[in-house]
Every structure is written in C-alpha cells, then in structure tokens.
Structure 1
Amino acid sequence: MRTRRLLSLASGWLLAILMLAPLPAMAQATDGGGQAPANATLANLLENPETRQQLIDQLRGAASESGAEAAASEAASPSLPRQLAETTSRIVGELGSQLGQVLDAVSGLLAASPSTFDLPAFTSAAINLGLVILATVVLFIAVRRLARPLFTRLSQWSLTGKGLQPLLRLVLSVGVAVLIDALVVALAYVGGNLVATFAVGESGELSTRASLFLNAFLVIELLKAAVRMLFASRYEGLRLLPIAAAYAAYWNRWIARLIGLAGYGLMVVVPLVNAYLSPALGEGIGTLIMIGAYVYAVVVVLKNRKRLRDALNRKAGQTTMAASRISLQLFARTWHLFALAYFTMVLVLTLTRPEDALPFVLLATLQTLVTVLVGMLVSSLLTQTIGRRIRLGDDLRRKLPMLEARLNRYVPTALRVIRAVILIAVVMVVLSAWGAFDLAGWYASEAGRGLVGKLLSVFVILVVAAAVWLGLASLIEHKLNPETGGGVPSARAQTLLSLFRNALAIALITLTAMIVLAEIGINIGPLIAGAGVLGLAIGFGAQKLVQDIITGVFIQVENAMNTGDVITVGGITGVAEKLSIRSVGIRDLSGTYHIVPFSSVDTVSNYMRDFAYHVGEYGIAYRENIDEAIQALQEAFEALREDEEHKGKLLEPLEVAGVIALADSSVNIRVRIKTTPGDQWAVGRAYNRLVKLHLDAAGIEIPFPHTTLYFGEDKDGGAPPANVRVIRQQAREVAAASADEDPAVATDTQAPQEVHNQEDYDGET
C-alpha cells in the first residue's frame, strides 16, 4: 500500500511536469535554466515506449485506487438503519459464538481426566476465599450495627431539628450518613484485607482471589450506599426520595440484588473462571449473567409499571405548579420506557464493548444519578425558599401594601424559568455522561461560550429591569400611601404619580426588550427606524388620537382636573374616576360611566379647586319683614356652625347679598357660604334644612304660588254674583248638621269651599 501511494505521488508529479512542458521558455526565463534537467528527463521518458507504457499503467492504477478508497469511505459511513442491522447481527453472532464456546469449554472440562484437575488446590482456594468473604461480611454487619445509633440521631435531627430549612437539614443529614456508610464499607474492606493477608493462606500475601472479591466488595457496597441514600427504608429522615417506607424497602432491595448479581458476577466470578477454567467459559458466563440481570430488571419494571404510574400521578395531583404537574404526569406514563431503554443500552454496551463496558456504565450511571439528584434538590430548595407565598412584615406591608402581591406574582414566574434552565442543564449533563453529547467540547467552542454568555447577560438584564421596576413602583406607592408618604397626597400628586408609573412601565418594557434583542445579536437599528416610520404614519393617520394626547398633556400640566374631582367636561358633570393621557372617565349622578376624549374638551369646569360657595336664594311673603328674615337666616347659619359634622367645612361667615328680586309671589334674599372644595352641596343641604326650621319658628311665611279671582265691581261698589258650588258631599252634611245645632255656625259653614266654572253651577249664594 505504501509503495502504491509513492507511485501515485510520483505519477502526480510527472503529470504536473507534463502539463508545464509547453512553457519551457517561460520556465527558463524565470528560473535561469533550473527546469531544463526535469524537462529533459520527462522527454526521455516519453520517447522510450517502455517507460511511457509504465507511466500510463501507474496513472491508471492510481485512478483505480482512488475509486476504491472512495467506495471504502462510502461503506464506512452507512445509514442508521444499516448500522442498527449490522450491530444486531453482530451481537446475535457473538452470542451464538459465545454459547458455542461455553458448550465446548464445558464439554472439555467434563471430558478432561481427573488427574488434570487439582481438587485439593481448588478446595483450599475455595475455603480461603470463603473465609475472606465471611470475615468481610461479618465485619461489615457488625460495624453497621454499631453505626445504627448515629443514623437514628441523624434521622431524628432531620425530621425535628430547628434552625435550618427542612430540605437543608435533610441534605446535611444524608451527606453525613453517606460519609458514615462509606466509612463502614472502608473499615470492612480494610478488615477483609487484613484477614486475607495475615489470617488466611500464606501470611503476608494477598491472593488474587481475595483481591478480586475485596475490590468488588468495595465498589458494590459503595454503590449500595448511594442507593441507600435515595431509598433509606429504615430511617425516614435520611430518605431523599419522598416515598413511603414500604416502597423504599422494595426498590432498595431490588436494586441491591441487581447490583450484587451483576457486580460480583462480572468482577469476581468471571475473572476466576477465566483464570482457573477457561477464558471462553468466563466470557460466556459473563454474557449469561448480563442477560439474566437484564431479564430480571425488565420483569421488575413491567411488574411495577402501573403502581409507580399511580404513585407519580398522585404526586402530580399534589403539585401546585402547572409545569411540574404536567412533567410528572408525562413521566408517569413513560417511566417504564426510560427504564427499559436504560437496561437495554447497558446490555448492548456490555455485549459490544466487554472490555470497558462495566466501568463506562457505572460512571455514566453515577453521573446521571448525581446530576438528577442535584437538580431535584436545587429545584426543591428553590421551591421551599422562594416558591412559597411571600409574607412581608406588618410594617413593610403597611408602608407598601402592593409589594407583597407584586412579589408573589413575579417570583413563581422566575421560579418556572429557573426550573426550565435546571432541566436543560440536567439533560445536557446526562447526555454528555452517556456520550451522546460532548458538553465540555460544546462549551469550549465559540458558539457554546457565546450562547452561555448571552443567556447570562439576558438573565442579568431581566433581573436588573425587574429590580428597577420594583424599586421605582414601590417608591411611587410609598409616596401615594397616606400613612407613610408624608400625609394624604393631593389629587394632582395622585394623578401625576399614577401616570408616571404607567409611563415608567411602558418605557422600561421597551428599553428592556431593545437591550435583550441587541444582546442576543439582533440588529435593533432597523427596528428603531421602523418604529419611527410607524410613529409618523400613525401620527398622520390618527390625528384625533394625537390631539387627544397633546390636549391631555396640557390638561395635566395646567392641573385642570385630577382623579376624584367633580367636573363638567363636554357637557357631562360627574366625578372623574379615571384619568389617562388620552381621556377621562366620569361617573355622573345617576351612576352612568362616561369616557370623554380630550379632543372633544373645550372647557373644563372644576368644582373642587381651593374653595367653593353655596349660593342660596330664599323667598318670603310680601307682608313679612325683610330684616327679621335676614336675622332668621343668620341664626340658621350660626346653628350650622355649631354642627360637629359641618363646622369644619365653613371657611368664612355668612355673606348676605340682600334682596335680589321682587318676584311675583315672593321677596327673594340671596346669601352665600364659603366652604371647603367639594363640600358645598352637603353644606347647602344642611343649611336649607335649618333655614326652613328657623323661618317657621319666626312665623315668616315662605310663599308658594297663589291665584286670586277678581269678579270686578260696579260704580257703587257692588260685586256681581259669583257662581260657586261645594263639591264635597261630606262638607254639605257637616254644614247641615251644624245648622241643626247652631244657626250661627251654619251661617259660617255656608261659605264657598271651591270655585268652579259655570258648568258646575248648583245654586246661588
């Protein structure tokens, strides 16, 4: 192959020289004759028929070799279905060959003569190994019994301790318990080594058999300790997974059996069989062990499929956050698929890569468990720390009554985002552990570092924007709070601060969005230019809206109205309930809510500026004394000033304007009372009541419209007869009864009661 490559290289150079042959003069001019020997050699080769034919053959061979290499490269990268088919075929073939080798090895052992098998040596080795195993296991059990009080105390402190959050106590307790458990395993391992070295076999030497078992014991028991960290069936306070003790004992026992079967089988039995019997037999036994462990795991997973699904659904029903609930429900339906995929992958790796499959699987599994566990603990810690409803102190709640609700609205959203980031990080680390994704290489690349940097920058920007909004909104809220902001704020301050808060929210959202877009690499220049063009188009197309906004700005600058004022705007009178930059919302006396755009406002009549007046006009009869009436009005005002409810609303003494009109039925007197703004109506109602009472007490008539009928009279002073009629039958009966009793009374009662038209004539008087 190397010779062919050299020939191909030489042929390539010769071909290049051949292509440069038509330019000898240029080559000589540039090189000063340096190319002449090469050209002469090439010419000699081409003139000789034999050498020319050899050169042609070499070029054809190089072309065929390049085609073969291209075909080989195509075959080296087959499609995914083909790769799966080839892998499956290879695994089945290897299984068949291994079974055949096992049968051959067993047949060879059975056919071997007894003399070739040293039974005493085998018996001695088995006894020595059994003694080491027994001593190690007894020592391990004894030390664990001595450590039980420590586990019990740690469990009690985790459940009932004080001073730390429950999750932190659980993590610390489990960490200390794992250290104690690892120390117990280490002591048993050291004790087993001492027994194997000095008490069993030849003193001072550690046999290979004992070393295999002790190393396997150390690895397997440490793995079991890690499993006990998750499923501590005897100690409630040392169990990381929130499951019942019965379920914890079941899964702990099942996983321990699986680890023991696969671990001791592959790390002890298979090496011993390889060393003392046959490598082929050991390889076959290892395959059978993995197949048996796989079948056992699949049976247990399918057996507990429904039970674990129901338990996860119950846990999902207890979860308050929607994302966690949906994730648990989805995992409840598919957990068995993940478990079966995991065990299938372990089996395939063991069969295809028997030399390094076990260390790789153990390390990847350990990384997966640690990553998932850390992610769950961090998520649970965040939930216990900031996921619960935030309760502020009474003093802070009094100063900032909206801060608690605002925090309880923002924190769950931030917690969901953090949980999503944790989930993505866990998935990436797990994929990297199993070789499906190179996390370190991706992060070392420019794209990885850039993406992580952008995500961190966006996170910091959002946190800063949220902090700025919380701070400024809380400051505005503090100013608006009458208990902590320096007294009751004026209506103008309330309106302007409310508008400023809305404008601040819009500006902050816009700036944050622009900065985030610029940070992730989007050019915001066209966006700003487009926004300018769009604003110009909106300005031309929505002139009414622009007029509303401009008029609203000037109304706020001139302090023409504020929220809570009684105003007349656009012909509508009522209380200004909502004031924006574009319109005002008015609630009239009947309760109807009106929205009046500022573009339709020509005049703003505000009844609540600085002070107000109650203007009253009171009529008295023409026969009454005007001075006595004015005195009664003064007395009514003095009574009003003594009223506890209204005396604080009066700003000046009563102002009497005097007689303003001699009306048809009355003499009208006007008075004016200066009041605090907005109280003129209440003061007026109270004063009208007192005026009626005092005028009645003074005997001053408040006239009402009268109609006087004049029948005329002649020159002698005589009046024509008036046709009158008493229409009430009861009045007639009373008059008749009175006439029977007293004629004088009858004469008085015969006076006309009501005058009617000629049609009602019933007699003459």
Structure 2
Amino acid sequence: MLRPILIVIAMAMQLLFRLFFFVILLATPALGQAPASTSTPAATETTGAESSQVVDDLVRILEDDTARAALIERLKQAAPAATEETATEEILPDLSIARQLAEYTRSVAQGASATVRAVGGIFVNFRQAVDGTLNADYEMLGALAVNLGIVLTGLFGSFWLLRLATQPLMARISRGAANRNIWQKLGIIAAGTLVDTLSVIVAWAFGYVLALNFGTTPRGEMGINQSLLLNAFLVVEVCKLAVRILLAPRHTSLRFLPVTDDNAAYWSFWLARLVSLLGYTFMFVSPMLASAISPAAATAVQILIMITVVTVGVIIVLQNKDDVRVWLSELAVRRGNAGLWRVLAAVGQQWHVLAIAYLLALLVVWFANPDEALPFMLGATVQSLLAIVIGSLIAGFIGRFVNVGLRLPPDISQRLPLLENRLQAFVPAVMAVVRWVVIAGVVISVGQAWQLFDFANWIGSDEGLGVAGSVVSAALIVLIAIVLHVVVASWVEYRLSASSGKAPTPREKTLLNLFKNAFTVALVIFGVMLALAQIGVNIAPLLAGAGVVGLAIGFGAQKLVQDIITGIFIQFENVMNEGDVVEAAGRSGVVEKLTIRSVTIRDMTGTVHLIPFSSVDQVSNMMRGFSFYISEVEIAYDSDIEGAKQAMRDAFALVMEHPDYKNVILDDLDLQGLIAITPASVTLRSRIKTLAGKQWGAGRFYSETLMRLFGERGIETPTPKMRYVPGKDGKSLPELPPVDDDQG
C-alpha cells in the first residue's frame, strides 16, 4: 500500500524541482546583484544625518561637566532596575535543585513558545513570499534567467553526457571485480570511484567556465547565485557519489554493503532524491530567494521542503518496519545474542517508533531554532551513528576472534596440553568484559554527543582522573592476578608433564598440586583485597572481619581444623601421594587427589570415596619400596607335595620368561612350602617380590600358569566329590553327601 504513495511523492518531488528552477529563472534579480535593500536613498541620507546629530549631542554632554554628572546620575538610577534580576539569580545557589528545576522549566517554556510562534509564522512566511514575488523586479529576471540558464544547461547537460559516456567503462570495471580477492576488489572499486569522481569534477569545472565566460556579466566575472548553484552541485553530487559507492545499484560486484539488488536500488533512489532536495534547497534555492525576493520566501520554501522530506522519511520507515526488525533479529542471532547485538535486537522491535519520533522532533526543532538547534541535532546524530558503527565493528571483530578460538603452536601444546583449553576458557571471559566496555563507550559517546552529560570535562577534572585511575588500577590488578594464575598453573603442568625431560615423582605431583591450589586461593584473596583498596573500599574492616570469622571457624568447626592439621602432618610425613594404592578409613584403592583437608580414593569397582583426614587413624600404603605377591594354593590331602612344589617353581620360570613381567620381578621365588594341613587338603605358600605396585599383574599371570600346570600333572585341588545312585524305577536318588574313598 505504501509503494504507490512513494511513487506519487517521487513524481511530486520531480515536479517540485522543475517548479523551483522555473521560479529561479523568473523571480530572481540579475546575476551578481547585491542583496536588495528596503530603504531608499533619501531614507539613507536621513538616517545618516540623525546618527551624526546623536554623536554630536553625546560629545557635547561629555564635554560639559554638569551635563555629564546628570547623565551619570540618571544611569545610576536605572542600574538597580536593570540588575535586579541578576542580583536575584546570584542569591540562589548555582547547584540547588530549585535553581536547576527553574532553569529547566524556563527553557522548556521558551522552547515551546518559540515552536508555537514558528509554526504560527509559517502562514505569514508564505504570504510574505507571495508578496515578495509580486513585487520582484522583472527587469532583472531576464538577465538571471540567461545566466542561470546557461550554467544549468551546461552543468547538468555535461554531467549527464559524462555519466552516459562512462557507463561502458564502469560496466567493464564491474565485470573485472567479479571473483577477485578482497584487496584486488578494493583496487577495482577505487578505480571505479575515481572515474565517477572525475565525472563530477569535470562537469563542475565546465560550469565554472561557462559562468565566467558567458552571460550578461563582464567576461571573467560571475554572480553569487551562479557560485551558489555550482557549490550546491558539487556537495550534492559528492554525497550521491558516496551513496553509489556503498550501494552500487547498477554494479553488484562493486557493492560494499551486503544488500540485495532490490534493496540497493530502493535505498539509492530515495537517498539520492532526499539529498538533492535538501542540498539544492538549502545551499542554492533558499539563499538565492532570500536575496532576490525576501527572507520570507526563502523560509517558506525551506518549510515546504522540510515537511516533504519528513513525510517521505516517515513513509519509508513504515514501509521498512518489518524488514529492519527481522534483519536486526537475525543479525543478533548470528552474533550469539551477546552484548551490543542483544541491545540492537531489543531496539529493533520498536525502531520505527523511535525513528518517526526522531523525524518529528527534527522538524519541530527546526521550526523553533533552525540556526542553532538543527545543526546541534544533526551533529549529535552523526556522532551517535559513528559511535554505534565503530562500536559494532569492534564488537564484531571481538566476536569473530572469540569464535575462531585460540590455537597454540604444536610444540607448546605438546608440552602444555591443558594451556590451550585454559586460554580458550579465559579469553572469551576477557573478551566479554571488553565487549561490555565497548558498549559503555558507545553509550558515553552518544550521551556526550547529545550533551546529556559532560563526560569529557569530567574525566579531565581531578575527580574524574582519580576515579579513572582507580578503575584502571583495579582492572590491572585483576588482569595481573589472572595472568599469574595462568603462568603458575602452566608451570605446574609443565613440571608434571613427562615431556619436560624428567618424569615427576608421586611426591612432586602431590606437592605441586597442593602448591597450585594454595597459590590460587592466596592470589584470589590478595587480588580482591588490592582491587577493592584501589577503588576506595576500606579493607581494614574486611581483614578484621576475616580474623573474627577465622576464630569462629576455629571454635565451631573442630572437625575442619582436625582435617587440616592431620592433612599437614600426613604431607610432612609423606605417607601417601597421588597414584599410590592405599587403605585408609576402611577403604582401599588408588589415590586420585590429595588436598590439605581430604583424600580422594577410587576403589576396584570404580567408586570414588572422599575421606576427610579427621576420620583417618591409619594409612596402609601398598606402593612403597617393593611389594610381594603371596600365592596360597590348596591341593588334595593325598597329592604329591614335591610335585606341587616343582610345579610352582616351573610356573615362576614361565613368568620370568614373559617380557612384560620379567623386568618387574626383583628376586627369585620365595617358596615357603607347606603351611597348613586339613583333613581334606594341604596349603602351600609362595611369594614373588616385585616393584612397588607391580605385584598384581605378575601374580595373576603366575596363578594362571600354576593352575594350568596342576591340571596337566594331575595335581588335584580339594574339590568336593558327588556320587549318584540310580533308583529301582530308573530315577536317581537324592544327592548324597560326599563320601571319603578311604573309608569305603
């Protein structure tokens, strides 16, 4: 529904341009004419005579002592009335809330009054514009029509011909930019920009040649209105050139912005029209009408153009409401909904309301104070957009850096395998902080641009420098603490790595891990304390409170104190280390972790047991010095004992031949022989001495080999024997208890 309206508005704008140029050719004084004066020569002479008379009277008063004293007395009597308001203002304190509220309400009231007067003066301006046009000097219109007609025809005609002539070259440049890398593409885009820029400059220079050599003015001279037209042409076409460089509606390969062809053509069309309308109106038409007809005529044209531009802007905003909202939402999703992108997505939900409010506010501000308020608002807008664009670029670079990740060289990764993971977990957190700092910088820049606060002067003051120094010092302390943690953790990891050249002992593993934990805790405490002290927090009460809390813990948490004291003595006595197989508090297994307070043991089933040292009254370490594998086997009562012993020796010999176990066995087989006799069996014992912790593998292989040899040599184990007696009906009788063969 909105696109037909925009087409109609575009046609109306073209008609309005033609009307402007027609008015220029018919209603403007001669080229080079000075601004029209409203006073006649007689009036000028009268005014000069009156001014001379006033000066003479003032000189006579100053020369006469009596008259001079009377004048001074009269000025003194008038001074209190003139300074009453100033004295009243000086009584109020400058920083009082009442004074600030009064100043604010006064400025709002004055601004509203000025706006109402400006809106009410629109109709007066149009009426005065019509009167000025009717009273124009028509003898000058012909000369101006000739002069401007020559410049207009030559300027825009030459520019159109140049653009037409460079189109094949631009098309060739566009084809050359396809399928090129970024640097080659930038060079080709620069070449295309140079060609387009030369077209503008050549047409502009040709217009100056025409203005200086043709027309009703003497050769080598030109009127101010022709200069206004040429300067307006240069500024407008340079702005349109920037739009063409960014959007390139006719040359896709030369386009900077990632937009579709339809969007590029759409935005290029409307931006070019709006720039032309505003540029030619305020830089050419309005100044010329102000000097040729009346300031009211210039104001009337400006009002008409501003209303048209704001109306077109509102329609464009409504037409693209959904597209921009979806684009911002998708952009935030692609960026992970982090930081500035999340804010932009939230703003995108109601961006059209903000944009329309801004356009209407721009129109109202221009009505109220076009000389001061409008330049301030436009400057603040440009600064805000620059801050947002720069912040978005920095946030995008940070996001890409975090997404790509940090990769260390292979040799460093081999020596410090956990460093890369540690840095990958550390860098995103730092980058998130940096991203929020960027967002804060954007907010401060926008507030500074709109003068919501004077951050620049505040940061330059003693108070601002103190606050900034404190924040920067605290941030540096935190950063140094984090770097120290990474360095110490990496050094511990390097010492515990077997690739460092020397395999760490279990004692080194235990002590280094304890040192890393203690250093981390101390670093966190000291880093937080120093950072708080830098930002002005008194840490003395915190230290005193920590002492009181420690004393309370000492009385109330006796088990915790007992855990720590017992753990300290266990570490001093080197009872166990990480990787040892121990038995403590009724649990046996491998020590996985040792702290100053507890030990973590994983048993044979894989269950992890966390045992506080206060519950440990005895520690049995199975991995100190050497170990024994004890083998106790039972054989039948009537078995050959010497044959069984020989089988045990042969099994040990086979174990010594195995490549995996021969190097862990430290001594010959300790065959202790018969150690127990029962009515059904006898027990034989042997021991194998191995390295600490290596007894179980060699022992299992020894037991398997021994059982195989017993089976091959007929050495029976005391297994219960069952005898079944078949019944008379063919069914077996119930199972009988074992029967001793010797007793029949």
**Is the structural similarity TM-score above 0.5?**
yes
> Is 1:671 the counterpart of 2:695 in the alignment?
no
Distance 1:141 1:532, change over 3 A: farther
> Is 1:431 the counterpart of 2:452 in the alignment?
no
What amino acid is the match of 1:402?
A: L
> Is 1:275 the counterpart of 2:279 in the alignment?
no
> Is 1:141 the counterpart of 2:163 in the alignment?
yes
What amino acid is the match of 1:134?
A: F
In the alignment, what sits opposite 1:570? 585
Aligned equivalents of 1:345 and 1:304: distance in 2?
20
Shift in Å, 1:278: 1.3
Distance 1:269 1:8, change over 3 A: closer
SS in 2 for 1:578: strand
Matches within 5 A, 1:80-99: 80=104, 83-84=107-108, 86-99=110-123
Distance 1:494 1:250, change over 3 A: farther
In the alignment, what sits opposite 1:308? 324
SS in 2 for 1:351: helix
Is residue 566–residue 607 contact of structure 1 (8 Å, CA) maintained in 2? yes
Instruction: Give the stretch that moved more between structures: 413-422 or 241-250.
Output: 241-250
Distance 1:189 1:430, change over 3 A: farther
What amino acid is the match of 1:380?
A: G
What amino acid is the match of 1:673?
A: I
- The match for 1:529 among 529, 544, 548 is 544
SS in 2 for 1:729: coil
Distance 1:294 1:671, change over 3 A: same
> Is 1:293 the counterpart of 2:309 in the alignment?
yes
Is residue 98–residue 280 contact of structure 1 (8 Å, CA) maintained in 2? no
Aligned equivalents of 1:153 and 1:489: distance in 2?
65
In the alignment, what sits opposite 1:646? 661
Aligned equivalents of 1:379 and 1:61: distance in 2?
57
> Is 1:728 the counterpart of 2:725 in the alignment?
yes
Could you give the per-residue CA deviations for residues 539-578 of structure 1, whole angstroms, max 9, x where no partner exists?
2221211211222222233332233322110122223233
Could you give the per-residue CA deviations for residues 648-688 of structure 1, whole angstroms, max 9, x where no partner exists?
33221111234434444444433210122223233333222
In the alignment, what sits opposite 2:300? 284
Matches within 5 A, 1:479-558: 479-482=495-498, 484-486=499-501, 488-558=503-573
Aligned equivalents of 1:380 and 1:727: distance in 2?
87
Identity of aligned residues (%): 37
What amino acid is the match of 1:729?
A: P
What amino acid is the match of 1:294?
A: V
SS in 1 for 2:629: strand
In the alignment, what sits opposite 1:683? 698
What amino acid is the match of 1:464?
A: I
Unmatched 5+ stretches in structure 1:
10-57, 164-168, 708-725, 736-752, 758-764
Distance 1:320 1:589, change over 3 A: same
Aligned equivalents of 1:94 and 1:68: distance in 2?
29
In the alignment, what sits opposite 1:630? 645
> Is 1:105 the counterpart of 2:129 in the alignment?
yes
SS in 2 for 1:567: strand
Is residue 371–residue 430 contact of structure 1 (8 Å, CA) maintained in 2? yes
Distance 1:355 1:698, change over 3 A: closer
Distance 1:732 1:120, change over 3 A: closer
Distance 1:144 1:344, change over 3 A: farther
Is residue 340–residue 392 contact of structure 2 (8 Å, CA) maintained in 1? no
Could you give the per-residue CA deviations for residues 221-252 of structure 1, whole angstroms, max 9, x where no partner exists?
33334444543445556655443332233223
In the alignment, what sits opposite 2:52? none
What amino acid is the match of 1:588?
A: D
Aligned equivalents of 1:436 and 1:225: distance in 2?
34
SS in 1 for 2:500: coil
In the alignment, what sits opposite 2:67? none
Instruction: Give the stretch that moved more between structures: 507-516 or 365-374.
Output: 365-374
What amino acid is the match of 2:222?
A: L
Could you give the per-residue CA deviations for residues 690-740 of structure 1, whole angstroms, max 9, x where no partner exists?
223334444445446899xxxxxxxxxxxxxxxxxx9833489799xxxxx
TM-score (norm 1): 0.76
Aligned equivalents of 1:418 and 1:630: distance in 2?
77
In the alignment, what sits opposite 2:153? 131
Aligned equivalents of 1:516 and 1:456: distance in 2?
10
Distance 1:365 1:148, change over 3 A: farther
Could you give the per-residue CA deviations for residues 264-300 of structure 1, whole angstroms, max 9, x where no partner exists?
1111111111111111111222122212211211121
Aligned equivalents of 1:76 and 1:494: distance in 2?
68
Aligned equivalents of 2:176 and 2:491: distance in 1?
47
Is residue 132–residue 293 contact of structure 2 (8 Å, CA) maintained in 1? no
SS in 1 for 2:544: helix
SS in 1 for 2:349: helix
Aligned equivalents of 1:178 and 1:557: distance in 2?
78
SS in 1 for 2:219: coil
Aligned equivalents of 2:467 and 2:248: distance in 1?
40
> Is 1:244 the counterpart of 2:254 in the alignment?
no
Aligned equivalents of 1:271 and 1:680: distance in 2?
104
Matches within 5 A, 1:216-231: 216-228=232-244, 230-231=246-247
What amino acid is the match of 1:130?
A: L
What amino acid is the match of 1:540?
A: F
Pairwise CA RMSD: 4.1
Distance 1:216 1:622, change over 3 A: same
> Is 1:327 the counterpart of 2:337 in the alignment?
no
> Is 1:464 the counterpart of 2:485 in the alignment?
no
Instruction: Give the stretch that moved more between structures: 319-328 or 504-513.
Output: 319-328
Aligned equivalents of 1:94 and 1:64: distance in 2?
28
Larger Rg: 1
Aligned equivalents of 1:460 and 1:585: distance in 2?
37
Aligned equivalents of 1:560 and 1:278: distance in 2?
104
Distance 1:224 1:418, change over 3 A: farther
Shift in Å, 1:422: 1.9
Shift in Å, 1:305: 1.0
Instruction: Give the stretch that moved more between structures: 356-365 or 643-652.
Output: 356-365
Shift in Å, 1:390: 2.8
SS in 1 for 2:443: helix
Could you give the per-residue CA deviations for residues 168-201 of structure 1, whole angstroms, max 9, x where no partner exists?
x87x988898788667655554443344334555
Shift in Å, 1:487: 5.4
Shift in Å, 1:324: 4.7
Aligned equivalents of 2:253 and 2:466: distance in 1?
43
What amino acid is the match of 1:415?
A: M
> Is 1:407 the counterpart of 2:404 in the alignment?
no
Distance 1:512 1:66, change over 3 A: closer
What amino acid is the match of 2:671?
A: V
Aligned equivalents of 1:692 and 1:274: distance in 2?
119
TM-score (norm 2): 0.78
Distance 1:538 1:182, change over 3 A: farther
What amino acid is the match of 2:142?
A: P
Distance 1:174 1:490, change over 3 A: farther
Aligned equivalents of 1:597 and 1:756: distance in 2?
51
SS in 2 for 1:651: coil
In the alignment, what sits opposite 1:368? 384
SS in 2 for 1:347: helix
Is residue 665–residue 705 contact of structure 1 (8 Å, CA) maintained in 2? no
Distance 1:418 1:218, change over 3 A: farther
Aligned equivalents of 1:496 and 1:689: distance in 2?
40
Aligned equivalents of 1:83 and 1:409: distance in 2?
53
> Is 1:214 the counterpart of 2:230 in the alignment?
yes
> Is 1:348 the counterpart of 2:364 in the alignment?
yes
SS in 1 for 2:631: strand
Aligned equivalents of 1:65 and 1:685: distance in 2?
106
Is residue 567–residue 576 contact of structure 1 (8 Å, CA) maintained in 2? yes
